[in-house]
Amino acid sequence: MPKKKQKPHGHYCKVCGEHKANEKFSGKGHAAHICKSCMKLTPAERSKEMTLRKIENMPFRYLSESEIKWLRSKMNDKNEEIWDAASEAHQVKFPNYERNVMKKGLTAFSLDFFIHGEVWNEYGDEIPVHVCFTLDKSGLVHCIDYEQSEQKSERAIQLEPKEAKKLLKYVVHELNAPFWNEDLSDAVYEFDPHLDILSEYRYSEGYIPDLEDREDDLDDEDSPEKEQEQGEPICTLSLELNNGENPEIKFYNQLHDEPKELYWQLQELFEEDMSEEL
């Protein structure tokens, strides 16, 4: 039979959060779960430490509604140490809380979506896509398909304003499009043939650039001229939001699932329109 887990020796102090030998507790302190050292603290200090101990474990276990309410109340506590610990614990437990609060009142008035890459269709085949969509809350959807002939490249349909607003809400709340710059990486990892060479031999003629030179190189990489050298992005999304912000998201290196999903949502509008015409 498997051996039973042995209980830790000593007693737990709910003020300092440590297991200590029984002799470290007085009779009264043993019953209250407070060691002799913590008993010497003032009532206010003991209360603060017990609150901090309670907060420490909250990110790693299930919380009831009352516990969540209590934790959020401590995010406005007068004691800086408590509200700082509560805010950190809440961020770990609910990483998207602030975003979700902001999204509740966030809507899009219009979008301009461009995609030039390969996407998977329902049969698992990659198909080339080079298309631009525009949509506004009035329901007007315009499409330019650069893969088609000039006569067939441009199409427009009119949705019910209610359906248009529903689709724009889906883009914001389900696809999280306003946060693509934060959530979706567009990094390209290039192989550096000099990485296996000692730093003092990586540069010709023994030259090692100082910190200022390297900062200048980084600035050059982020400059508008460098962006222009990257060429046409494979995906661009421009949004007009009700909070006055108009984010523009560009991807040059990778076509993520979310833009692909947006493409199919918009493309289906025109496929439905074509089936109705037939």
pLDDT of residue 200: 47
- Give per-residue pLDDT as tens, 21-38: 878 888 777 778 888 888
DSSP codes, 98-126? HHHHHHHT--EEEEEEEEEEEEE-TTS-E
pLDDT of residue 204: 47
CB 24 within 8 A of CB 10: yes
pLDDT of residue 225: 45
pLDDT of residue 197: 46
pLDDT of residue 11: 82
pLDDT of residue 278: 43
Which residue ranges of the chain lie beneath pLDDT 70?
1-9, 187-230, 272-278
- Tell me which residue of 84, 120, 98 sits closest to 264, measured CA to CA: 120
- Tell me which residue of 276, 268, 238 sits closest to 143, measured CA to CA: 268
What residue spans in the chain does CATH classification 3.30.1560 cover? Answer: 108-277
Residue 75 in tokens:
């995010």
CB 98 within 8 A of CB 90: no
- Give per-residue pLDDT as tens, 150-194: 777 899 999 999 999 999 999 999 999 999 988 887 765 444 444
- For domain 108-277, which CATH number applies: 3.30.1560, 1.10.3470, 3.40.710, 3.30.470? 3.30.1560
CB 58 within 8 A of CB 67: yes
Per-residue burial over 102-134, b = 16 or more CB atoms within 10 Å of its CB, e = otherwise = ebeebbbebbbbbbbbebeeeeeeeeebebbbb
CA angle 165, 256, 224 (to 5 degrees): 95
Question: Does the model's pTM come out above 0.85?
Answer: no
Alpha-carbon span 236 to 250, nearest angstrom: 5
Alpha-carbon span 262 to 177, nearest angstrom: 9
Which of helix, strand or coil describes residue 45? helix
